[in-house]
Amino acid sequence: MIAKQSGNSAPGSSGSPRATGGREGLLKSLVFASIVLAGLSVVLSALALLYAAGILESQRDSPDIESRLQGYLLANPEVLIESVNRLQARRQAAENSELSTVIAQRHDEIFNDPDSPVGANPKGDAVLVEFFDYNCPYCRQATPMLDSLEQEDKGLRLVFKEYPILGAGSVFAARAALASQKQGKYLAFHKAMMAYEGRITEESSLEVAANVGLDVERLKHDMTDPAIDEMIKRNVALAQALRISGTPSFVVGKEIVRGLTDANSLKRLIGSARGELGYRCRRFRTSV
């Protein structure tokens, strides 16, 4: 399983160009410093292993060993980069393995939670899960794409995970959306919220609710149900377990996609997930 990182996501922060440029410069410096330190750490660890194995025993007391090593690293700085790349690859592999385990252990919570709203094809055989926030501009961009995927693939079941991380307005909107299920209007409310132009607040959420035909007073009452807040807390905890910190993020099969992606990429992942599902079903029929 590969946790994919796309270019666009909404972590919930912004700044002026000058401040952003300064932060970017500092970040680049810190990244470079961390790469150098990581590379040195890898090289020193390798040298320690060579000493422990006795391979460099004859060189241990050589007066110029340090200068020779320094000269080698200065002449071959790509050694540091290669060491860092290998270290990062190992860490990524370890993270992927860990996330695969989390997805397997929490499969039903991710894909089959009866409390999570679903899209237009509730009985679909392939499942695409979206973690989103109503104030996330990239989530709004993703909505028409997801609608098209549903229309093209009647076997695709969308599962919506309310993940309000962009302020109080987002939290209120998520609670209102979940409460709208009691009036059977979640999808209408959800799509209208994603199409809304402007900041989502308590006022705009109630405005959209009225526009799609929800009984606003009943909605407010239903929002006080403790189960609503509990659902959001579960979604947040699940996102943290999956190391999802921005929106939109998608889970399909064994894959996690962080950030806005394109329709073709999602189609490929959906096809892979469907193929894996078919393989498991064939194995099950064979075993019985």
The pLDDT of residue 19: 36
pLDDT in tens, 28-60: 555 555 665 665 665 566 555 555 555 455 555
Would you place residue 279 in the very low, low, confident or very high pLDDT band (cuts 50, 70, 90)? very low
Would you place residue 288 in the very low, low, confident or very high pLDDT band (cuts 50, 70, 90)? very low
Burial of 128 (0-12, 13-18, 19+ CB in 10 A): buried
The pLDDT of residue 14: 35
Query: Could you tell me how many residues make up the chain?
Result: 288
The dihedrals phi and psi of 256, each to the nearest 5 degrees, come to -120, 125
What's at 262, amino acid-wise? D
Using CA atoms, how far residue 14 sits from 11, 18, 99, in Å, is 9, 12, 29
pLDDT in tens, 175-216: 999 999 999 999 999 999 999 999 999 999 999 999 999 999
pLDDT in tens, 241-266: 999 999 999 999 999 999 999 999 99
156-162: strand order across its sheet: 3-5, 255-258, 249-252, 126-132, 156-162
> Is 39 or 135 the better-scoring residue by pLDDT?
135
- Tokens of residue 168, six digits: 């109080």
Quick one: what percent of the chain has pLDDT higher than 70?
Answer: 69
From 11, 232, 265, select the one nearest 137 (Cα to Cα): 11
How confident is the model over 68-96, as a mean pLDDT?
Answer: 73
What is residue 246's DSSP assignment? S
Model confidence, pTM: 0.71
- Tokens of residue 171, six digits: 């939290």
Burial of 222 (0-12, 13-18, 19+ CB in 10 A): buried
Would you place residue 4 in the very low, low, confident or very high pLDDT band (cuts 50, 70, 90)? low
The pLDDT of residue 89: 75
The pLDDT of residue 17: 34
10, pLDDT greater than 90: no
